[in-house]
Structure 1
Amino acid sequence: MEHVRRAVVADAAAIAAVHRESRAAYYGDAPDASDGREAMWEHLLGLPDVVAHVVEDDHVVVAFLSARRRRSPEAALEMLALYVLPDRFGRGLGTRLHRVFVSELRADEVGVLEVWEGNHRAIQFYRRHGWTATTTSRPGPYDKPFITYRLA
């Protein structure tokens, strides 16, 4: 049975695996087990301003969310990642984690995130959940930018 819980540093390898598989699905690349994601997630999960949750199914991480608080230029909870294993797409796990993200928002904060313009599944997901594209972007892979979205 799937359940959501707060992530811990010991989840870094499992989170890296979900991140790698999901990311490969939307970029169209092969997963690279030597990409350093385990170390990246160990570091991020150890930071005091990072909020992270996982969805487990029978003790296996199948989805995760991470966010961090920032104060400049405005008070915001920035979603760093929301990833679901590709074989679990469309089952509501992203929506469950999105609800967790919204529950973590403080009254003085807005939600912000970046979405790669080529990730149409994610763009539709965030739009359905009330996110609005801004005019802010930065370069991304395959000549498609990362677009900043807001949830007020």
Structure 2
Amino acid sequence: MLAELHARSRAAYYGAGGHDVPAVPDDQYREAWRKMVLDPRLEVLVAVVGADITGVLTLDANGVFPTNAPNETRVRLVGIFVDPSNWSSGIGSTLMDRFLTTTRHADAVGEVDVWERNSRAIRFYKHHGWTRDGTTRPGPANTNYVGFVHLP
């Protein structure tokens, strides 16, 4: 179920940025999600409406890790996804609140990478108080992922 949800969400946001990816996961994609759920370093939280999983939040479950900055710790937001049929319903904000509660309890900086053409996600992160940190890494379609942080 998580692989299917992620594939639908991913196809919608990549598609909006001009990069087509499948909206239905193959067996390899499903296996990658199975491994992620079983990975003890990750925490996967789901949002459920009725009997349907409508959103997922994945974070580094080892929680807090030190950085090179004195007295700074960070919590990595691996991903947050909502079924496109539930966009703008508050599910993403609820999941984000859960993540930010984790960072506040740890007195940590939140960090995440966002595909540069995903303008919807960038607006979402900015709305929730995230700011660009100046980092980038290569992404699909010759477009970088850009780093964002959320300060405690």
Pairwise TM-score range, normalised by the shorter structure: 0.7 to 0.9
CA distance in 2, matches of 1:82, 1:35: 22
- Aligned twin of 2:41: 49
- Aligned twin of 2:65: 71
Tell me the SS of whatever aligns to 1:101: helix
> Which 4+ runs in 1 deviate beyond 6 A?
none
CA distance in 1, matches of 2:26, 2:44: 23
| Aligned length, in residue pairs | 139
Provide structure 1 residue ranges, at least 5 long, that are not aligned to the other structure. Answer: 1-13
The structure-2 alpha-carbon separation of the partners of 1:72 and 1:36, relative to structure 1 and needing over 3 Å to count, comes to: farther
CA distance in 2, matches of 1:59, 1:20: 19
1:99 corresponds to which of 92, 97, 100: 97
CA distance in 2, matches of 1:97, 1:37: 23
CA distance in 2, matches of 1:36, 1:121: 28
CA distance in 1, matches of 2:35, 2:111: 21
**Aligned residue type for 1:53:** L
Tell me the SS of whatever aligns to 1:130: coil
- Aligned twin of 1:8: none
Report which stretch shifted further, 32-41 or 84-93: 32-41
What's the CA shift for 1:18? 0.9
Matched, 1:109 2:96: no
CA distance in 2, matches of 1:49, 1:76: 14
Tell me the SS of whatever aligns to 1:36: helix
- Aligned twin of 2:134: 135
Tell me the SS of whatever aligns to 1:90: coil
- Aligned twin of 2:4: 17
What's the CA shift for 1:70? 5.1
Q: Is the 8 A contact 2:113 2:148 kept in 1?
A: yes
Tell me the SS of whatever aligns to 1:17: helix
- Aligned twin of 1:121: 120
The structure-2 alpha-carbon separation of the partners of 1:112 and 1:72, relative to structure 1 and needing over 3 Å to count, comes to: same
What's the CA shift for 1:89? 0.7
Provide structure 2 residue ranges, at least 5 long, that are not aligned to the other structure. Answer: none
TM-score, normalised on structure 1?
Answer: 0.84
Aligned ranges for residues 22-33 of structure 1 at < 5 Å?
22-28=9-15, 29=20, 30-33=22-25
- Aligned twin of 1:10: none
CA distance in 1, matches of 2:129, 2:144: 21
